Chains A and B, each alone.
Chain A
């Protein structure tokens, strides 16, 4: 079964249906479960539905934590 994949919204219509792009491949997706989906939003796609947005700030924080640990263990 498909993992939830982070992908970018490339188009969305009035009925909250549209497409996402992931590494240059586009797939039809439904944004029924998102509040005001916009082109350019990063979302998690699972079985053709976006189940959540990707929060950029939190993503950076997770990466920062990762880098911190990598550095600490590198010493």
Chain B
């Protein structure tokens, strides 16, 4: 599928897109998932799409960005406060700053450490190999990752592993979309739905968006070509005045999703209300292990009380930024109480978040000025 990233194909797709937006007018597409955001970032597509008449907005499907500070702080608390505790986590969770620092910068308690893993299974195997260590997997993710995390919980329960638990930051994609659309005016012309989440949940969970709100969308894969084809699909729906849930990623996504994965999720996890960074409490939007698995639920095991609003300031207007109603500088916290080192909402945590991008852009130096001089301070005696 190499062709989906070749320059010639990308140029052609951009031309085709520009052709349509010249007739329809500029559009604003929300890419829902963090992995789409990453692809757009990696290939430098945002500016190219802007020039072709498509403004991209990064949506709430980024677990790093919407996991509340309180959860990050709970994870930090575990590894700094308890000896011989191994906090296993995906790498990108470690860079999020909190009032206590980030997982990258904290000093673990004696015998404790932060271990970066690529699969929840690794954390489980680690627990089996080192029974003297208490292993907590900081499991953050959407429906693509949730089945893997559910599998880790189930396996630990089956083996009765006493030194393993999962700190769950499990999020569902459809509820925040509903929350965003129901909160009032929305300047979003179309949705790019996450390809791999959809491989698990199928097409049906998004149907309410065209049906109740009349907004088109398409499930797209992760090559640059997939994203552009997905956008073309959306533009086609607009042209025909027939919003639906389009499917670009046919080679991977079955409309019914993955029944085996869904079955396991249902077996191990139950739905709960959850607080999202920057979006507040969204009913039925998160998952937690069912009561019979509570011995492997780190929140229960360690008696953690994770306050939903701890560490987040009132005044965060990420919701309005996401809906396209305000620009970042219009939020009172922007650049003052909300900065890259002390972010309040997902728009400042996500490296493509509207607020972070705006701040970085305004900091890029003007042409003509020379590079920074390294000033060396003297330590005063």
Q: Is A48 an interface residue (CB 8 A)?
A: yes
From known contacts A4-B195, A46-B144, A70-B12, infer whether A51 and B251 are also in contact, taking CB-CB under 8 Å: no
Interface residues on B, range: 35 or more
B199 to A47, Cβ gap below 8 A? no
Q: Complex formed: what's the CA distance from A60 to B229 in Å?
A: 14
Q: Complex formed: what's the CA distance from A51 to B178 in Å?
A: 25
Q: Is B322 an interface residue (CB 8 A)?
A: no
Q: Chain B residues near A62 (CB, 8 Å)?
A: 1, 4, 226, 229, 248, 250-251
The segment from B115-123, B301-309, B329-337 that touches chain A is B115-123
Q: Complex formed: what's the CA distance from A44 to B249 in Å?
A: 12
Total CB contacts across the A-B interface at under 8 A = 124
A1 to B120, Cβ gap below 8 A? no
B121 to A51, Cβ gap below 8 A? no
Q: Chain B residues near A33 (CB, 8 Å)?
A: 147, 258, 260-261, 264
From known contacts A47-B145, A49-B151, A72-B16, infer whether A54 and B260 are also in contact, taking CB-CB under 8 Å: no
Q: Chain A residues near B144 (CB, 8 Å)?
A: 4, 46-47, 51
Q: Mark A32-75, 1 if CB is under 8 A from B, else 0.
A: 11110000000010111101111110110111011101101110
From known contacts A2-B118, A34-B260, infer whether A51 and B3 are also in contact, taking CB-CB under 8 Å: no
B118 to A4, Cβ gap below 8 A? no
| Residues of B100-135 whose CB lies within 8 A of A | 118-122
Q: Chain A residues near B91 (CB, 8 Å)?
A: 1
Excluding A44-B199, A47-B145, A49-B119, 11 further A-B contacts by CB distance (< 8 Å) are A1-B63, A1-B91, A3-B38, A30-B121, A47-B148, A51-B196, A51-B258, A52-B258, A66-B4, A73-B12, A74-B12
The 8 closest A-B pairs by CB, nearest first: A48-B119, A73-B12, A58-B251, A70-B12, A52-B199, A58-B250, A59-B251, A33-B261
